[in-house]
Amino acid sequence: MQIYLVGGAVRDKYLNRPVKDRDWVVVGATVEKMLDAGYKPVGKDFPVFLHPKTHEEYALARTERKIAAGYTGFQFYATPDVSLEQDLQRRDLTINAMAEDAEGQLIDPYHGLADLRAGILRHVSPAFAEDPVRILRIARFAARYNFEIAPETLALMQHMVTQGEVNALVAERVWQELAKGLMESRPRIMLEVLRACGALRVLLPQLDALFGVPQPTKHHPEIDSGEHTLLTLQYAAQQDYTLAERFASLMHDLGKARTPPEDWPHHYGHDVGGLKPLAEIRQKLRIPKDCAELAALACTYHTRIHSVSQLRSRTILKLLHQTDAFRRPERFLSLLKICLADSRGRLGLENSPYPQQDYWLKLLDAASNIDAAAIARQQTEPTRIADAIDRARLLNIKAIHRSSGR
């Protein structure tokens, strides 16, 4: 029985990155031998065990064969005669198909270290095409490491898309990989890879439709709404936004693909127009509630947030109510952060001033700075309490507007 360290732990060691989890492959063993040695079985589809002391995962060396569509349609073989090289061959990328023996000697039959040093993501074998999840994984790895995808691998990914493999992906797995990719340091690269292979058009057609739609800007008229969206997302990542904030930054301009440009500036048409494609995405991928709700706020209100100096005091109070800013000020702050990213998601404007953020916080603070209990006690009719509180809030908002010369 021989034991090898495999996969991400080996890869990250040679990248000088922290190793979070260690996975092991056991060659020459059987289920009975593992159980006799005290390992605890956890695998349902193939033999995986937990070490009795470290609780790290140890899997029997195995091969696999595609028997049905999708990423679950595999049959696995784990017998003592399966070699380490055979086990590594079934892995997705060469950089993930390296192993170390007990003495720390590298075993690299598919030249993963060379690809690692060259910054290349390359598939190990044609079997890559049998698992559509690998398209999402390779896009995520590109976002993490800023590596190039080998031309033959990109061509294989494109072929997988045209063959309909991506259509077999289940919603939970797509969202899982997408969410991980959004939290990488360069999430825009993930979207670029998915678009390059055609998967974005299948998985997120509402987002893919933004590319080619003109983005009104006097600074860079050649940038379309798709590129602006990627710049907005990348700014959010650079500022270490949360997952919900990054997702909302990605979704904020969905309506531009469905609204004529002449309706953008004045009637907030593209804002409201983004709600339908967002609802389609939420239903298709089962987006978590916090992400979906923040994205809906961003779609609906980001233009009005930008144009606060042109809004009447009553409109400002109405917007604060509509966004539930009084009860959930932390979410309203997230909305302002998305608007900041939107403002700076343009080449050359990454550090431009955005006074609207502080101004909205000032307005919210003023509107919240009332004695609601005292106002309630003064009312003889309970039904009038809410209106009386709003009148007090409106007076404070007007005071801020006047002091700012608006």
- Rounded to a whole number, what is the distance in angstroms from the first to the last CA of the chain? 78
- Output the six-digit token pair for 51: 């070490």
Task: Say if CB 59 and CB 45 are below 8 A apart.
Answer: no
Task: Say if CB 173 and CB 133 are below 8 A apart.
Answer: yes
Between CA 264 and CA 261 the distance in angstroms is: 5
**Digit-coded pLDDT (tens) for 28-64:** 999 899 999 999 998 776 789 999 999 999 999 988 7
What's the pTM value of the predicted model, to 2 decimals?
0.89
Mean pLDDT by 10-residue block, N- to C-terminus, for the chain (406 residues)?
A: 93 92 92 91 82 92 69 68 92 96 95 97 94 95 97 98 92 96 98 98 96 72 85 97 98 85 53 84 96 96 93 96 97 98 87 94 96 87 89 95 76
Question: Locate tokens 């090898």: which residue?
Answer: 4
Three-state SS sequence of the chain: CEEEEECHHHHHHHCCCCCCCCEEEEECCCHHHHHHCCCEECCCCCCEEECCCCCCEEEECCEEEECCCCCCCEEEECCCCCCHHHHHHCCCEHHHCCEECCCCCEECCCCHHHHHHHCEECECCHHHHHCCHHHHHHHHHHHHHCCEECHHHHHHHHHHHHCCHHHHCCHHHHHHHHHHHHCCCCHHHHHHHHHHHCHHHHHCHHHHCCCCCECCCCCCCCCEHHHHHHHHHHHHHHCCCCHHHHHHHHHCCHHHHCCCHHHHHHHCHHHHCCHHHHHHHHHHHCCCHHHHHHHHHHHHHHHHHHCHHHCCHHHHHHHHHHCCCCCCHHHHHHHHHHHHHHHHCCCCCCCCCCHHHHHHHHHHHHHHCCCHHHHHHCCCCHHHHHHHHHHHHHHHHHHHHHHCCC
Cβ neighbours for 178, distance < 8 A, ≥ 6 positions apart = 136, 190, 203, 285
**Digit-coded pLDDT (tens) for 259-295:** 766 655 554 545 667 899 999 999 999 999 999 999 9
Tell me which amino acid residue 316 is: I
**Digit-coded pLDDT (tens) for 145-191:** 999 999 999 999 999 999 999 998 999 999 999 999 999 999 999 99
| Nearest residue to 263 (alpha-carbon basis) of 224, 231, 303, 291 | 303
- Output the six-digit token pair for 98: 């390296």
Three-state SS sequence of 97-152: CCEECCCCCEECCCCHHHHHHHCEECECCHHHHHCCHHHHHHHHHHHHHCCEECHH
Strand-pair partners of 66? 74
pLDDT for 168: 86
Q: Mean pLDDT over all residues of the chain?
A: 90
| Nearest residue to 137 (alpha-carbon basis) of 193, 90, 80 | 193
Cβ neighbours for 1, distance < 8 A, ≥ 6 positions apart = 26, 27, 28, 29, 33
